[in-house]
Amino acid sequence: MEKFAKMIVDRDYKISEIDKRIYGSFIEHLGRAVYTGIYQPGHETADEDGFRQDVIDLVRELQVPVIRYPGGNFVSSFNWEDSVGPVNQRPHRLDLAWRSLETNEVGLGEFSRWAGKVGADVMMAVNLGTRGVADACNLLEYCNIDSGSRYSDLRISHGARDPYRIKTWCLGNEMDGPWQIGARTMTEYGRLACETAKAMKQMDPDIELVSCGSSNPQMPTYPQWEAVTLENTYDYVDYISMHEYFGNPTGDTANFLASSLEMDHFIRTVIAVCDFVKAKKRGTKDINLSFDEWNVWFHSNEKDNEFMREHPWQQAPSLLEDNYTFEDALVVGLLLMTLMRHSDRVKIACLAQLVNVIAPIMTQKDGTAWKQTIYYPYQHASVYGRGIALEPVFTSSRHDTHDYTDVTDVETAAVWNPEKEELTIFAVNRDLKEDITLTTDIGSFEGYKLLEHIVMESRDLKAVNSARKQNVKPVDANDRTRVDGRQVTSRLGKASWNVIRLKK
Ligand code: AHR
């Protein structure tokens, strides 16, 4: 059977205005994310605060709107007080999550300053592993209260006159995970998160709170965890968190490219649970989703576990430094399109992580910063995927893989930016052998012409980038799209990532 993909997009068929925060990211005190990642005084590009300018430039190109901080598993044994005040008086601590040494040279103040330089807001996580309600409130007071109280005045004494005014706060991290320091049962966490949320909103009613969902959909307590914890926290929280990582340990590329269906299914299930709790509570507000950790992650696992076991308590060890392949970038593109298509309920999402640790940006300690393969789909989505996600009427030929049936050969997402009068079609051709023609009817977008058709493809699915060579990068392929009145015909190369930009 001939392979095909057909779509109708119409300005009146809308999914939602996309919250730009779905293009967020994450920096944890883990491995070389902070030290020799964003911060390296003495590096040839270091600025007056010790931050690497080469990294700042690459992050700015991504237009990252929000960055989750400081963990991750790290946060569950983190004492925020260690990370503020005069740097030379800050203690060195053992980070139990990653069995590393934390020197606290970079703390809350420094990170806020860096976030300002890259143009991102901070999304802060509180420690609900080894700590609780009082510490979370003290941290909130330090960050968000103007002055006149113990912790706001402490911040001022540390040189920060203006509060950081952090809007979004995570109530712990992966609290269902046996690996988490201070892990909880669902009833324990539900109560703790509820009381913490209540107190934090009492202090600052303008904040938004994220209740911890399951660490991944394979957890034995999923999705009961979501139901029970939300029944406790519903009145005080705004979002529930979702985390999921994808991998191809068996080398089955077709199956790997279909794994975005799992993210789709996960999102649908968590929405159903949120709506169930809303109904049960006779509630009026929707709980939205914060998919605040997602990515491909599997290349480095074995090496990392051995390293942490054999060489503990090092400062900034090389951990979770996955070197991403071309096929990983295709999966990241597919996951980004899944988030766009769920933008009516997914309001925050964080690519985990941003620098050196399962990251689009890598640094050499004594050299340059460079772009991994996954940098590009992330950049395209963040830059061109702003506006209104459209609900396309879409059909495509299909195939089955080891774990998934009825997988579309092509997958798409369409975003309309009314201010710029731009329509962007994102598309992945999952077929590993054949090019497929995508035909799009854009009837309601009269006068729209092709601006560019960006393509990323590679003869070698396992090709990677390095500091020396960008083997995988996007190119312009404008000859692959033709616009004839209302019909847009695009040739999607086998196994390719496509960004088709149209403008009035
Ligand atoms: O992003 C790496 C780790 O993955 C995070 O610390 C944790 O939350 C998750 O398990």
Q: Please give, one letter per residue, the 3-state secondary structure of 432-472.
A: CCCCEEEEEECCCCCCCEEEEEEEECCCCCCCECCCCCCCC
DSSP state of 289: E
- Give residues with Cβ within 8 angstroms of 268, minimum separation 6: none
Instruction: Give the residue whose CA is nearest to atom 4 of ligand 1.
Output: 72
The count of other CB atoms within 10 Å of the CB of residue 475 is 9
Residue 244 CA, ligand 1 centroid: distance in Å: 10
Residue type at 186 in one-letter notation: M
Largest separation between any pair of C-alpha atoms in the chain: 73
The reported pLDDT for the residue numbered 301 is 85
Q: Which helix (H) or strand (E) holds 273?
A: helix 260-280
The reported pLDDT for the residue numbered 256 is 98
Residues of the chain with pLDDT under 50: none
Q: Tell me how far apart the alpha carbons of residues 70 and 106 are, in angstroms, rounded to a whole number.
A: 10
Whether ligand 1 lies within 6 angstroms of the CB of 356 is answered as: no
Hey, which of 171, 293, 358 would you mutate to test ligand 1's pocket, going by the most ligand atoms within 8 Å of its Cβ? Answer: 293
Q: Tell me how far apart the alpha carbons of residues 156 and 138 are, in angstroms, rounded to a whole number.
A: 14
Whether ligand 1 lies within 6 angstroms of the CB of 293 is answered as: yes
Residue 354 CA, ligand 1 centroid: distance in Å: 13
The reported pLDDT for the residue numbered 302 is 85
DSSP state of 18: P
Q: Give the DSSP letter string of 104-167.
A: -SS-HHHHHHHHHHHT-EEEEEE--SS--HHHHHHHHHHHH--SSSHHHHHHHHTT--S-----
Quickly count helices (H) and strands (E) in the chain.
11, 26
Active site residue 17: no
Atom from ligand 1 closest to the CA of residue 352: 1
Residue 174 CA, ligand 1 centroid: distance in Å: 8
Among residues 81, 141, 174, 411, which one is catalytic? 174
Q: Tell me how far apart the alpha carbons of residues 56 and 78 are, in angstroms, rounded to a whole number.
A: 26
Whether ligand 1 lies within 6 angstroms of the CB of 385 is answered as: no
Instruction: Give the residue whose CA is nearest to atom 5 of ligand 1.
Output: 72
Residue 180 CA, ligand 1 centroid: distance in Å: 10
Q: Give the DSSP letter string of 152-220.
A: HHHHHHTT--S-----EEEESS-TT-TTSTT---HHHHHHHHHHHHHHHHHH-TT-EEEE---SSTTST
Hey, which of 30, 68, 73 would you mutate to test ligand 1's pocket, going by the most ligand atoms within 8 Å of its Cβ? Answer: 73
Residue type at 193 in one-letter notation: A
- From residue 498, give the alpha-carbon distance in Å to each of 183, 335, 447: 42, 14, 22
Active site residue 174: yes
Using DSSP, state whether 227 is helix, strand or coil.
Answer: helix
The reported pLDDT for the residue numbered 332 is 98
Residue 138 CA, ligand 1 centroid: distance in Å: 25
Hey, which of 99, 180, 212, 243 would you mutate to test ligand 1's pocket, going by the most ligand atoms within 8 Å of its Cβ? Answer: 243
Whether ligand 1 lies within 6 angstroms of the CB of 107 is answered as: no
Tell me the Ramachandran region of residue 365: left when phi exceeds 0, alpha when psi lies from -120 to 50, beta otherwise: alpha
Atom from ligand 1 closest to the CA of residue 293: 1
The reported pLDDT for the residue numbered 44 is 98
DSSP state of 355: B
Q: By C-alpha distance, which of 69, 114, 76, 116 is closest to 95?
A: 76
Atom from ligand 1 closest to the CA of residue 30: 6
Among residues 102, 244, 293, 327, which one is catalytic? 293
Instruction: Give the residue whose CA is nearest to atom 2 of ligand 1.
Output: 72
Residue 73 CA, ligand 1 centroid: distance in Å: 6
Q: What tokens appear for 284 in the block?
A: 């009026």
Intra-chain end-to-end CA distance of the chain, in Å: 36
Instruction: Give the residue whose CA is nearest to atom 8 of ligand 1.
Output: 72
Q: Which helix (H) or strand (E) holds 497?
A: strand 496-503
Whether ligand 1 lies within 6 angstroms of the CB of 353 is answered as: yes
For the whole model, what pTM was predicted?
0.98
Q: By C-alpha distance, which of 339, 328, 478 is closest to 413?
A: 339
Whether ligand 1 lies within 6 angstroms of the CB of 104 is answered as: no
Instruction: Give the residue whose CA is nearest to atom 6 of ligand 1.
Output: 72
Q: Tell me how far apart the alpha carbons of residues 54 and 323 are, in angstroms, rounded to a whole number.
A: 19
What's the mean per-residue pLDDT of the chain? 97
Residue 220 CA, ligand 1 centroid: distance in Å: 18
Q: Tell me how far apart the alpha carbons of residues 73 and 469 are, in angstroms, rounded to a whole number.
A: 33
Q: Tell me how far apart the alpha carbons of residues 427 and 420 are, in angstroms, rounded to a whole number.
A: 21
Q: What tokens appear for 58 in the block?
A: 């690459």
Whether ligand 1 lies within 6 angstroms of the CB of 73 is answered as: yes
Whether ligand 1 lies within 6 angstroms of the CB of 77 is answered as: no
The reported pLDDT for the residue numbered 500 is 98
